Chain A
């Protein structure tokens, strides 16, 4: 270890190494923590009432975690985090129907983000922005299946824009996060 460090017991981990994922166990534990964090963000978000007359408009705070996991651990690991988040939030604060809407939005959003990130041409902000828009789209599609017909699609423009905007903001937050919380392994990824 570094000679600059004072002699500390091994159990104390320097903050910079918090995101070490050398061992699978460490990774699982970390991802679990992050999932829980995502749920909590969902709760916080639920407590913020939005005065807009549009149904289904959301800030998407929990996606801060999802995007982070995507960039730090890859899409494959982000998927279970996202799905479990949907499940827990739905069980705790929502209805089975709302879970369906969220799930659809989350899956579509994550899929899109994975693909966009793979192209390497976009930064977090763009990817997250698109993810937000896709999340809205996924929800509308499920809503359309329920309400049957084209009436519901009239909300798409508003929801797409809102989702995109919020997504971009979240991307910005993640940008800062990812830079501040660099891990030795994934340094090349922001």
Chain B
């Protein structure tokens, strides 16, 4: 093989592409979009004037709770499988217990009035800090 390949190696030499400039741009572009997205979410959180916890499952809002009152909520059921325990304590929210396969929701950092979200993908559960101003009225005129 050595014989045939030295010829092709020479041919290859001139077209060897290892790490090109274009690569760098591409990678930087992706990194930049990540950063921009991150900044966008940071900004979005600053727009929250009255933070509330919004819990949705399967895309439907199942509960909106103020951060001012300590609370423990069980989402789902322990018997039939598929549950998460959400705790609001001192204005911080975390998932304290869950029976999902990866438990990444339990390991997530707590979120508070500044914004953010905790997600349990297997249970399609999304906990996020939403702007209560649009959510909980003091009363409804009907």
Q: Which residues of A contact B (CB under 8 A)?
A: 2, 14, 16-17, 51-56, 97, 116, 121-123, 125-126, 129-130, 133, 143, 146-149, 151-158, 160-161, 164, 168, 175, 182, 184, 187-188, 190
What is the chain A residue whose CB lies nearest that of B125? A147
Q: Is the CB of A160 within 8 A of B17?
A: no
Q: Is the CB of A123 within 8 A of B30?
A: no
Q: Answer yes or no: B12 CB below 8 A from chain A CBs.
A: yes
**Residues of B with C-beta under 8 A to A53:** 104, 107-109
Q: 29 A-B pairs, CB-CB below 8 angstroms?
A: A2-B3, A17-B1, A56-B121, A97-B122, A116-B26, A122-B23, A123-B17, A126-B19, A126-B27, A130-B26, A143-B119, A147-B119, A147-B124, A148-B56, A149-B128, A151-B127, A153-B41, A154-B116, A155-B119, A157-B37, A160-B34, A160-B37, A164-B31, A164-B34, A187-B12, A188-B11, A190-B12, A190-B16, A190-B17
Q: Is the CB of A151 within 8 A of B30?
A: no
- Given the contacts A143-B121, A152-B126, A187-B11, A129 and B56 also touching, CB distance less than 8 Å: no
What is the chain A residue whose CB lies nearest that of B128? A151
Task: Give CA–CA (A14, B12) in the complex, Å.
Answer: 23
Least Cβ distance of A51 to chain B in Å?
8
* Contact count A vs B, C-beta below 8 Å: 123
User: Which residue from A14, A16, A129, A190 sits with its C-beta under 8 Å from B27?
Assistant: A129
Known: A126-B23, A149-B128. 17 other contacts (CB 8 A): A14-B1, A17-B1, A97-B122, A122-B20, A123-B20, A123-B22, A130-B26, A147-B58, A147-B121, A149-B56, A149-B126, A154-B41, A154-B117, A156-B34, A160-B30, A161-B34, A164-B31
Task: Give CA–CA (A52, B19) in the complex, Å.
Answer: 29
Interface centre among A2, A157, A160 (most CB of B within 10 A): A157
Number of interface residues of B (CB under 8 A): 47
Least Cβ distance of A102 to chain B in Å?
13
Top 10 closest A-B pairs, CB basis?
A: A148-B59, A126-B23, A151-B126, A157-B38, A53-B107, A157-B34, A55-B104, A121-B22, A16-B1, A151-B128
Least Cβ distance of A98 to chain B in Å?
9
User: Which residue from B11, B20, B38, B105 sits with its C-beta under 8 Å from A55?
Assistant: B105
**Residues of B with C-beta under 8 A to A160:** 30, 33-34, 37
